[in-house]
Every structure is written in C-alpha cells, then in structure tokens.
Amino acid sequence: MTELNKKLLAAVEKMPAFPQSVNQVLKLTADINCSQRDLVEVVKRDPVFTLKILRLVNSAYFGLSREITSINQASVYLGLNTLKNVSLGLAAVGAIPKSAGKRMDMGGFWLHSLAVATATRMLGLKLGVSRDDAADYFAAGLLHDVGKVVFALYMPEEFEEATKRSAEPGVSFYQCERDVIGATHADIGAMLAQKWNLPVELHDAIARHHSIGSGEPSQLLDCLFVANQITKKLSFGSAGDFEVEPLPDSVKERFSMDMDELVEDLPTLDEEVENARIFIKLGEA
C-alpha cells in the first residue's frame, strides 16, 4: 500500500460508523428476498430513528395526503427502496462530525448537496424512473461530495490549499485536489462508501461523478453529473467547486436537451430543495 493510500485510509477510518439499525437496514435490503415485515422490525427497534423517519415522511418533502403514524404504514406508502434511502440519508447526515463546521461552510455544503440530490431525482423521474427507484438518485446526489468532508476534517492543510487554488477562474476543484493531494474527493468518498457498506450503485456514483466517460454508461450517473452542473450554474450553496463543466455529447443525447433547456425543464427546483431541507434538520438533530 502506498503512503498516500495509507493516509487516505487513516482519514476514512476516523469517520463515525452508521448506527447498528441502519447497517441492518442496508444488509437486509441488499437481499432481493427482503420482506417488508423484516425491515419494519429492524427500524422499530430504534425508537429515535423511527421518530425521525415518521417526521420526514409526514413533511412537505413527501407531500402525502394523510398522516403516517407507523413505520409499517410508511413502508407501504413509500416502498422498501425509499425507506432504505431515507434511513441511509438521515444516517449519513448524522454521521458527519459537528467539528466539520470549523473547517468548511457546512450550510453551503448541505445546500449544494440537497440541490444536487433533488435535481438528480427530478431528472431520473423525467427519464421514466419509478418514484421508489428515484430514491437511489436522491441518495446519490446527497452523498456525492461526502469525500470533501473527510478531507476538510482529517487532511485540512491539503484541503485548504486545494480550495485556494480552485478560486482561480477556469480551474476545477477536482484537478486542484489531484495536484495537491494526489487523490480526489471522489476517491476518498468511494473509500468511505465501502466503510459504510453503501449499495454498489451508490458507491459507483460517488466514485465516478466527475468521470462519467469511464466505465459502464449509467443513467443515474448522467443525471447526477447534469444535476451537479445545474446546481453550480444556479449557485445553490457551495462545496468549493464553482467550475461548470460542459455536458458530454452522450449526456445531451440521453436528455435531448442542452444545459439551458435542462435548467428550464426544472421549474420547481427551488421549492423542492426547500422541502428537502428537512433531511438535514432531522439528520443533524
């Protein structure tokens, strides 16, 4: 193992683990034969987490017409995949140490992440993804930049240097990380995804969100890439990277639109991002 890899691994190991209940949810839902009853039983064993999920389900984010009073009802209304991703999103927000706020603007970071999550989900729905599967798209957007938090917390000098360099116009933060650290937030984010035992598609999205031309084509990855650029273009929050990258031809073909048309095609983005803020509020509580 190289010195750099040892350093990255040491940083990732310092990040808190998920609660046991969330680890069990991820383990159960990785099995295609997972039953609704089994999943509900696992969530119910953690009363604090149960309360958070119910508050989220009854918020404007889901906009349900009736109040949901039990996890059993929630699993019926939402579907197992959405329940899994809700659990995962809340756990990931809760796992970020409070000290991260001393190293980076966490308000700006979470606003950027929520906007990317919301736009990724909206783009997925436009391409015909089911509401339950669109929860994967939201989770990918919410966690795509989580590697930046690891750098800010546990490699602060290098992170600060990369941030300074990326302030120059036309310079990408991703390239500055590579120059200064020798690795990017996508690299260390993928390592954290392994530590947290995140699903394969989520690990892949975190690892490849700046390099969609490499590896197998992926609709989720294309939506995530576009959402990231739209969010930067519209200045939703900030995660240290202001450079709007051009859309590859393959992405334009998938959507049959250019960047400006895609932005126009998401008229309710502001409102939906506002509704999604509950994720951060409950996750940090």
- 191-220: per-residue pLDDT in tens? 999 999 999 999 999 999 998 877 788 999
* Residues near 197 by beta carbon (within 8 Å), at least 6 away in sequence: 18, 23, 26, 27
- pLDDT for the residue 130: 95
Q: Which residue has the tokens 């590579």?
A: 178
Tell whether the model's pLDDT for residue 44 goes beyond 80.
Answer: yes
- pLDDT for the residue 237: 84
Q: What is the pTM of this model?
A: 0.95
What whole-number percentage of the chain has pLDDT above 70?
A: 100
| Domains of the chain by start residue, with CATH | 3-284 (1.10.3210.10)
DSSP the chain: --HHHHHHHHHHHTSPPPPHHHHHHHHHHTSTT--HHHHHHHHHT-HHHHHHHHHHHTSTTT--SS---SHHHHHHHH-HHHHHHHHHHHHHHHHS-TTHHHHS-HHHHHHHHHHHHHHHHHHHHHTT--TTTHHHHHHHHHHTTHHHHHHHHHSHHHHHHHHHHHTSTT--HHHHHHHHTSS-HHHHHHHHHHHTT--HHHHHHHHHTT-TTSSS--HHHHHHHHHHHHHHHTT-S-SS---PPPPPHHHHHHHT--HHHHHHT-TTHHHHHHHHTHHHHHHH-
Contact (Cβ atoms closer than 8 angstroms) between residue 162 and residue 181: yes
Contact (Cβ atoms closer than 8 angstroms) between residue 110 and residue 79: no
* Residues near 180 by beta carbon (within 8 Å), at least 6 away in sequence: 158, 161, 162, 165
Nearest CA to 45 among 14, 23, 17?
23
- Identify the residue with better confidence: 33 or 181: 181
Backbone angles phi, psi at 246, to 5 degrees: -70, 150
- pLDDT for the residue 181: 96
Contact (Cβ atoms closer than 8 angstroms) between residue 15 and residue 95: yes
CA 215-221-225 angle, to 5 degrees, is 115
Confidence of residue 167 (pLDDT cuts 50, 70, 90): confident
The average confidence (pLDDT) of the chain is 93
pLDDT in tens, 84-113: 999 999 999 999 999 999 999 999 999 999
pLDDT in tens, 125-165: 999 999 999 999 999 999 999 999 999 999 999 999 999 99
- Distances in Å between the alpha carbon of 266 and those of 123, 128, 252, 261? 8, 15, 16, 9
Nearest CA to 161 among 180, 134, 146, 145?
180
Confidence of residue 55 (pLDDT cuts 50, 70, 90): very high
Contact (Cβ atoms closer than 8 angstroms) between residue 154 and residue 102: no
pLDDT in tens, 56-73: 999 999 998 999 999 999
- pLDDT for the residue 233: 92
What type of residue sits at position 9? L
Tell whether the model's pLDDT for residue 239 goes beyond 80.
Answer: no
